[in-house]
Amino acid sequence: MSLHTAALSREPAALAHAGIVAFPPGTATMAERDVLDTTLAMRHAGIRRLRIGWELQGAQDAPVIVVQGGISAHRHVAAGARFAEPGWWDAQCGEGRAIDTRHHRVLAIDWIGADGSLDACIDPADQADAIAAVLDHLGIVRVTAFIGASYGAMVGLQFAARHGARLGRLIAISGAHRSHPQVTALRVIQRRIVALGRSEGGVREALALARSLAVIGYRSDVEFEQRFAAAPAVGPDATRFVVEDYFDAIGPKFVARFSPTAYLRLSESIDLQNLDPASIRVATDIVAVREDRIVPESDLYALAEGIRGSTRLHRISSLYGHDAFLKEEAQIAAILTAALCRSVAA
């Protein structure tokens, strides 16, 4: 393992792998999305029939990169000519970005369970196997890199352990081989809030409350100090704190796009992560955020020490804590670009 700060460079990919789907005639790029109906032997839930939504976009015949984010991320990573709606990671993926779709094809899936149709234990290993099933379906033998952030990093670690022969490099941002017990405890409370809301007929309000509790851990204490330190509005019968406006804004947005079942099962899935770092033998870049309350640096140090392949640990600082992968565009882009260049050179 080495501590390393990635240097910014932009070296295009030079290797191509099999796996081509339909693309618009007369263009150098392609974009396709579909649903795979398949049977998956799940780690805890047995054999299940599943539908896996996927999207593949980028340069025709280029190397493939798998990109996965947090539990609320989805298959549409970045906007493109064919699917122009904003993606969840437009800051890092697209033409001229760190994950440059002029030189790579980007594959992502909708998490199994994200539509709320699967009310069963979902292990991060199941998500890794679902990605492998989509790769098989598309005829893609090997991917140049797997870039995962948050829950996506946990799944990337599982993919590296279970399907390492198909992977050139893993880039894991703010995701570890386990959930820290104290953070698991916080998620257990969040899930119990949702369960209580179900039993009492207020599940939407409960889900918004659980999300608000989760977001406290995603950001740093410094950010909360800067944004919400103003004095509360105190009346004769009630007091309202500044942070309540924030919670009232983010809660309904989350409820509008996430079902209670999906939240319960994917939150639980994070806490089911249990992986021996020594089972990973591929080249790995790990990104730790000093202010991250969800994934402590100590866990990522232990992960980096245990991996059997070549490993680099990148340490960054961010006001945004766990959400740094979404907010720290320049720092994350520098690490991604350098890591992908090493993938080409390997």
Domain final position from 247, 269, 291:
269
Q: Indicate if 286 and 261 belong to the same structural domain.
A: no
Residue 4 has pLDDT above 60, yes or no: no
Q: Nearest Cα to 207, choosing from 196, 219, 221, 217? A: 196
Residue 318 has pLDDT above 90, yes or no: yes
Residue 200 has pLDDT above 50, yes or no: yes
Mean pLDDT of the residues in the chain: 91
- Integer Cα distance of 112 and 53 in angstroms: 8
Q: Indicate if 240 and 261 belong to the same structural domain.
A: yes
Residue 345 has pLDDT above 70, yes or no: no
Residue 170: partners with Cβ closer than 8 Å, 6 or more residues away:
145, 146, 148, 156, 157, 159, 160, 280, 282, 283, 284, 285
Q: What's the domain range around 79?
A: 2-178+273-345
3-state helix/strand/coil string of 151-163: HHHHHHHHHHHHC
Q: Which residues are catalytic?
A: 150, 292, 322
Q: Indicate if 157 and 289 belong to the same structural domain.
A: yes
The two structure tokens encoding residue 316:
């960054």
Q: Which of 2-6, 8-12, 141-145 has the highest mean pLDDT?
A: 141-145
Residue 115 has pLDDT above 80, yes or no: yes
Q: Over range 230-247, report the average pLDDT.
A: 94
Query: What per-residue confidence (pLDDT) applies to 14?
Result: 27
> CATH code at 92?
3.40.50.1820
Judge contact between 310 and 281, C-beta under 8 A: no
> CATH code at 239?
1.10.1740.110
Judge contact between 19 and 135, C-beta under 8 A: yes
Domain final position from 269, 292, 319:
269
Residues 293, 294, 300, 302, Cα dihedral to 10°? 90
Judge contact between 168 and 346, C-beta under 8 A: yes
Q: Indicate if 54 and 105 belong to the same structural domain.
A: yes
Residue 316 has pLDDT above 70, yes or no: yes
Q: Indicate if 277 and 265 belong to the same structural domain.
A: no
- Integer Cα distance of 15 and 25 in angstroms: 23
Query: What per-residue confidence (pLDDT) applies to 12?
Result: 29
Q: Indicate if 246 and 131 belong to the same structural domain.
A: no
Structural domains of the chain, count:
2
Q: At which residue do the structure tokens 């866990």 appear?
A: 299
The two structure tokens encoding residue 27:
């263009």
pLDDT in tens, 151-160: 999 999 999 9
The structure's pTM equals: 0.90
Judge contact between 308 and 281, C-beta under 8 A: yes
Give Dmax over CA atoms of the chain in angstroms: 70
Q: Over range 269-285, report the average pLDDT.
A: 98
Residues 66, 99, 35, 158, Cα dihedral to 10°? 20
Judge contact between 54 and 75, C-beta under 8 A: yes
Q: Indicate if 34 and 96 belong to the same structural domain.
A: yes
pLDDT in tens, 56-110: 999 999 999 999 999 999 999 999 999 999 999 999 999 999 999 999 999 999 9
